[in-house]
Structure 1
Amino acid sequence: MLKHVSFVTRDLSAVLAFYERLGGVAEKRVVTAEGYGRGVVRLGEGKLQFFEVSGEAPQPHPHWAEHIAVYVRGLRQLLPQLRAAGVNVTRNLQPSPSGRDMAFVHDPDGRQVELLEAD
């Protein structure tokens, strides 16, 4: 099940307003510990997450800046199967900020995919 999709933006206010005009509901607007603006918009069952970068600021870490996050069941068993199938694991199993098991992998096109243990 899709949790969220994350993107980098140069204008957080404009992008949040755009998705609100499309029927989204802005759920969060904060500054991360690294100093990036972060906004979350709920669109139906899923969420879009945006990290604001500007000017000469360094790009956010690719693990969390632009990625797709999905819930999966049995992540501890799935991760070794993915490795055996040649999937590039870019961040090993660890607790997420919410305490769930989490890992990052690349899809066949090289996109970051965050895997989170489902309830």
Structure 2
Amino acid sequence: MMQPGDYLMLFCCIALWLVITPSCWSQGSATRVKVFQDGQLFAELDLAAARTLAIAGPLGDTVVEVAAGRVRIVSDPSPRQYCVRAGWLTQAGQSAICLPNRTSIQLIGNQPLAYDSLTY
């Protein structure tokens, strides 16, 4: 049986959880994108400037589009198109990787990331 104080404590815990969760999981908006080809930095672009970039890889060209503070891989010759399906990336720490063509993009912001998905 729960007492009135138990309901109050449960409400306080849920409210605290709702307040803390967004601040812990948000990485902030990105300001730049790093484009890698075969493990080497190919280009570092500002997200404020609209631009389309074609990167030659072993299978063909991967096309990266930067527009309105976001970035995406428009086309890639890889068979499964996972990096294209990632869609628009906007937050620091997000990335899209085209393994068969050895191309990837990674968004970076003003502050260093507390963690990333590769080392987590």
Relative to the length of structure 1, the TM-score reads 0.30
Higher helix share: 2
Greater strand content = 1
Greater Cα radius of gyration, structure 1 or 2:
2
